[in-house]
């Protein structure tokens, strides 16, 4: 099976005596939706920043199918233009498209995230869930093959969390995108194809998300 994300013995440390990631290896099959989970301090966000090119590994290698899209936990850290359409179009500048092509990409991306009439909407007027959808639309407009999402539901209410995870699941299946989603919410595992459990900077379990969910539930609620 073709893989879209591959890590081999990836390590990272701010100080050699205190590694955050330690020989971390994983593979995400192309066109699938996988999740990365673990407790605070397990290395999840550091791993995503390495994949996104925001940090450089101490050791090891990784590869991702390009183009790459990255959705931050807080969308206010990546939406920089005053309106929805302008923000999505801003991400297309390097492609040197004509204005007609840009408008078409923006419209198609907004339809894909179920915000078809939001092109002129001010960013400040959006809810948290809508902002995250706009961030995802920016990746879709750039025709990204791989999508990294670093706890994108962390700041959302329960209903909006569900809407967003279902939206990403639908995009993966309908557009052949590969997605890696960081989470600590066990209920979100019901929507992915597979999952990795990160502990102490290494992947200690992977595969079918339901056994991983049961394993974590038994740790959190040992008497249930």
Dump pLDDT digits (tens) for 74-94.
Answer: 999 999 999 999 999 999 999
The domain defined by 1-66+145-224 folds into Rossmann fold (3.40.50)
Task: Report yes or no: 186 and 16 within 8 Å, Cβ to Cβ.
Answer: no
3-state secondary structure of 121: coil
Q: What is the DSSP code (8-state) at residue 38?
A: -
Task: Report yes or no: 106 and 88 within 8 Å, Cβ to Cβ.
Answer: yes
3-state secondary structure of 122: strand
For the whole model, what pTM was predicted?
Answer: 0.93
Positions of CATH 3.40.50.300 in the chain: 1-66+145-224
Residue that the structure tokens 């959006």 belong to: 126
Supply the pLDDT for residue 221.
44
* Distances from the Cα of 49 to the Cα of 15, 34, 70, 114, 147, angstroms: 17, 17, 9, 28, 13
Supply the pLDDT for residue 220.
56
């Amino acid at each position: 099976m073709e893989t879209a994300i591959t890590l081999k013995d990836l390590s990272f440390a701010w100080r050699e005596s205190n590694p955050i990631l330690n020989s971390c290896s994983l593979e995400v099959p192309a066109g699938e939706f996988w999740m990365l989970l673990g407790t605070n301090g397990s290395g999840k966000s550091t791993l995503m920043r390495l994949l996104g090119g925001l940090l450089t590994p101490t050791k090891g290698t990784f590869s991702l199918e390009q183009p790459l899209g990255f959705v931050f936990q807080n969308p206010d850290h990546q939406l920089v233009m005053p309106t929805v359409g302008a923000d999505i179009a801003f991400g297309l500048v390097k492609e040197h498209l004509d204005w007609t092509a840009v408008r078409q990409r923006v419209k198609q991306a907004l339809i894909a995230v179920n915000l078809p009439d939001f092109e002129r909407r001010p960013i400040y007027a959006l809810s948290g869930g809508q902002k995250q959808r706009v961030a995802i639309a920016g990746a879709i407009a750039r025709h990204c093959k791989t999508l990294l999402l670093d706890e994108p539901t962390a700041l959302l209410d329960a209903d909006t969390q569900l809407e967003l995870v279902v939206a990403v699941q639908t995009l993966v299946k309908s557009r052949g995108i590969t997605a890696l989603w960081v989470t600590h919410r066990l209920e979100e595992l019901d929507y992915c194809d597979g999952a990795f459990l990160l502990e102490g900077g290494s992947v200690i379990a992977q595969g079918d998300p339901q056994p991983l969910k049961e394993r974590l539930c038994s740790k959190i609620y040992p008497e249930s």
